[in-house]
């Protein structure tokens, strides 16, 4: 195997793809359990180099300021938002199904005719000159702030206005900018005299809601999937122990459940430790807990690769709490306090209660395993109609054909099926796929994340980006016939409720079926099985 060759699955991919769903799922899930995605080692090195360039560019913009200086922190926030909205951070590279080109972002957002998802349906389906100009203006405004030696509150105002305006024109852009973190903090720069306290409040909210959202039955499966895919957990004995009885029972073992509970507790302890540290005291315990938490996350290189974001959060812990222990979040300016309450308390709470209405990013439900998602089923070669879209990324197999033969490509894309099935919510698919199509063998299975990456230029686990609104836009541009494209849309489990909502939709004729599945029942099932499993 060369440095760019993925780990081959323990079966012939071109034979595997012809098998029924239950057999296909059993084989690919067992392969994921021991191999993960099979990412070549060289790919991990590329991501590490990207992080180094991200940090190096930020230091260049600091013009020699100490790394914990308040202006250095402001530059880090603006640079991180620019980095993300360009498409260089989350949602880039092979671990998001993006091979050639390895980024979307600006390749789409600066190109008229590409697909967008406006907040208001009357704002069009495709990007026009005004959309492109506004996006370019955002990039210029961010670079302008970064080039200033000492930005003033007034200098941040263009960013404050442009980010939500672009979000109205295209929800994808607002999410890609990681606005729930970076934009909210920039608002504090612009309007709060004690902006450090406001930035502290944002950091506390990020940790708290991320931990809170993991108080569910979904997160143990995340621990399994991450351990099976991590570059530093390549021990077959460890990966087997994450499951109850590999390869027969791939539900989380007691060890996986314990790891998930420990991770949840750690994520909740970090903000608590910062809050209970006496004013004026260096928060050593909280910093250690923070490093343990984000060190674990980053070392696993999770799918979606929010690596730079994790570095930024850790840096924020040092630049805010470590460098300014004398400042309390209780000193937040009254001018921004209502705004912070809405963005850091109300929206996350509502996002947990009504996850179908609010993005998991705005709800700060990071990597909890309880995500909205979709599967798109293309009959025969009907996927070729996607060529009618204006894109910068071709069909996933056309991207992979530049590097691998057909069998290797099918093996890689098949692992995306395993990633979805292995999570608790994915166990709904063996029940729903037969309701969507008569013979899966006649259809090309593509995860909605890969469709969003191709059509929108950005994907990062936000299932609502590839639900009905995107389907309607693609249908209007591509014109699928009845039965050529069927989609399964699954929602997150709301807080306090025990079901997952789902919808099955035909691209041309519309809704076929909708309903809800009990999560407790899904917990008894194997990732590939449509029948209950007890042992």
DSSP 125-184: SB--HHHHHHHHHHHHHHHHHHH-SS--GGGGHHHHHHHHHHHHH-HHHHHHTTTTTHHH
The residues near 242 (Cβ < 8 Å, ≥ 6 apart) are 33, 223, 224, 227, 228, 252, 253, 255, 256
**3-class secondary-structure state, position 40:** coil
Q: Give yes or no for a contact between 355 and 496, defined as CB atoms under 8 angstroms apart.
A: no
Which parts of 354-490 fold into alpha helices (H)?
Answer: 396-400, 406-422, 429-436, 448-456, 468-478
Q: pLDDT at position 4, please?
A: 76
Q: pLDDT at position 2, please?
A: 57
CA distances from 451 to 73, 96, 131, 506, 519 (A): 36, 11, 22, 16, 26
Q: Say how many CA atoms lie within 13 Å of 279 toward its Cβ.
A: 7
Q: Which helix (H) or strand (E) holds 499?
A: strand 499-506
Q: Which residues pair with 379 in a beta bridge?
A: 443
162: its two tokens: 């442009």
**Distance (Å, rounded) from C-alpha 8 to C-alpha 68?**
45
Q: Give yes or no for a contact between 22 and 430, defined as CB atoms under 8 angstroms apart.
A: yes
Q: Give yes or no for a contact between 40 and 62, defined as CB atoms under 8 angstroms apart.
A: no
The residues near 278 (Cβ < 8 Å, ≥ 6 apart) are none
**Distance (Å, rounded) from C-alpha 107 to C-alpha 116?**
13
Nearest Cα to 461, choosing from 91, 174, 124? 91
**Distance (Å, rounded) from C-alpha 313 to C-alpha 213?**
18
**Distance (Å, rounded) from C-alpha 85 to C-alpha 128?**
18
The residues near 516 (Cβ < 8 Å, ≥ 6 apart) are 499, 500, 501, 502
Task: Return per-residue pLDDT of the chain as tens, 535 residues.
Answer: 456 789 999 999 999 999 999 999 999 999 999 999 998 888 999 999 999 999 999 999 999 999 999 999 999 999 999 999 999 999 899 999 999 999 999 999 999 999 999 999 899 999 999 999 999 999 999 999 999 999 999 999 999 999 999 999 999 999 999 999 999 999 999 999 999 999 999 999 999 999 999 999 999 999 999 999 999 999 999 999 999 999 999 999 999 999 999 999 999 999 999 999 999 999 999 999 999 999 999 999 888 889 999 999 999 999 999 999 999 999 999 999 999 999 999 999 999 999 999 999 999 999 999 999 999 999 999 999 999 999 999 999 999 999 999 999 999 999 999 999 999 999 999 999 999 999 999 999 999 999 999 999 999 999 999 999 999 999 999 999 999 999 999 999 999 999 999 999 999 999 999 999 999 999 999 999 877 433 3
520: its two tokens: 């407790």
Q: How many other C-beta atoms are found inside a 10 Å radius of the C-beta of residue 305?
A: 23
Q: How many other C-beta atoms are found inside a 10 Å radius of the C-beta of residue 501?
A: 18
CA distances from 281 to 69, 274, 276, 357 (A): 19, 10, 10, 41
**Distance (Å, rounded) from C-alpha 228 to C-alpha 36?**
5
Which parts of 300-441 fold into alpha helices (H)?
Answer: 307-316, 337-341, 347-353, 396-400, 406-422, 429-436
* Cis bond upstream, residue 247 (ω within 30): yes
Q: Which residues pair with 126 in a beta bridge?
A: 115
Sign of CA dihedral 472, 476, 477, 481: positive
Name the E strands within 233-284.
243-245, 249-252
pTM value? 0.95
pLDDT in tens, 412-434: 999 999 999 999 999 999 999 99
């Amino acid at each position: 195997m060369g440095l760019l060759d993925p780990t081959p699955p323990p079966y012939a991919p071109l034979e595997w793809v012809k098998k029924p769903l239950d057999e296909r799922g059993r084989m690919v899930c067992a392969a994921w359990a021991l191999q993960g995605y099979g990412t070549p080692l060289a790919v991990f090195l590329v991501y590490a180099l990207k992080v180094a360039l991200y940090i190096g560019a930020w230091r260049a913009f600091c013009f020699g300021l100490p790394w914990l200086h308040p202006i250095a922190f402001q530059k880090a926030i603006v640079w991180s938002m620019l980095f993300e909205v360009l498409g260089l951070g989350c949602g880039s590279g092979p671990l998001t199904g993006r091979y050639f080109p390895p980024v979307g972002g600006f390749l789409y957002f600066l190109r008229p005719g590409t697909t967008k998802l406006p907040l208001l349906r009357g704002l069009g389906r495709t990007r026009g000159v005004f959309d492109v100009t506004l996006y370019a203006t955002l990039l210029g405004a961010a670079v302008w702030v970064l080039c200033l030696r000492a930005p003033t509150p007034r200098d941040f105002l263009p960013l404050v206005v442009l980010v939500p305006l672009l979000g109205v024109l295209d929800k994808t852009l607002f999410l890609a900018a990681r606005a729930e973190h970076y934009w909210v903090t920039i608002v504090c720069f612009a309007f709060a005299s004690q902006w450090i306290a406001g930035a502290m409040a944002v950091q506390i909210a990020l940790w708290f809601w991320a931990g809170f959202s993991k108080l569910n039955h979904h997160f143990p499966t995340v621990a399994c999937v991450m351990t099976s895919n991590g570059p530093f957990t390549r021990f077959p004995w460890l990966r087997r122990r994450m499951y109850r009885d590999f390869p027969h029972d791939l539900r989380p073992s007691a060890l996986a459940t314990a790891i998930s509970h420990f991770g949840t507790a750690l994520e909740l302890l970090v903000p608590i430790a910062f809050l209970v540290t006496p004013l004026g005291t260096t928060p050593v315990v909280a910093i250690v807990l923070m490093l343990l938490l984000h060190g674990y996350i980053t070392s696993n290189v999770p799918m979606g690769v929010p690596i730079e974001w994790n570095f930024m959060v850790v840096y924020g812990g040092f630049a805010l709490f470590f460098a300014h222990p004398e400042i309390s979040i209780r000193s937040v300016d009254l001018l921004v306090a209502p705004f912070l309450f809405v963005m850091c308390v109300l929206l996350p709470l509502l996002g947990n209660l009504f996850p179908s209405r609010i993005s998991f990013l705005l709800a700060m439900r990071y990597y909890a395993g309880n995500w909205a998602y979709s599967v798109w089923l293309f009959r025969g070669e009907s996927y070729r109609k996607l060529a009618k879209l204006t894109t910068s990324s071709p069909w996933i197999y056309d991207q992979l054909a530049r590097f691998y033969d057909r069998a290797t490509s099918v093996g890689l894309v098949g692992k995306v099926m395993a990633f979805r099935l292995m999570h608790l919510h994915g166990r709904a698919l063996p029940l729903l796929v037969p309701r969507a199509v008569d013979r899966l063998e006649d259809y090309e299975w593509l995860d909605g994340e890969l469709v969003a990456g191709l059509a929108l230029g950005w994907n990062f686990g936000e299932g609502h980006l590839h639900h009905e609104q995107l389907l309607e836009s693609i249908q209007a541009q591509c014109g699928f016939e009845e039965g050529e494209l069927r989609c399964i849309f699954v929602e997150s489990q709301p807080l306090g409720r025990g079901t997952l909502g789902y919808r099955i939709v035909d691209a041309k004729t519309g809704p076929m079926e909708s309903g809800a599945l009990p999560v407790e029942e899904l917990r008894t099932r194997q990732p590939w099985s449509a029948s209950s499993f007890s042992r």
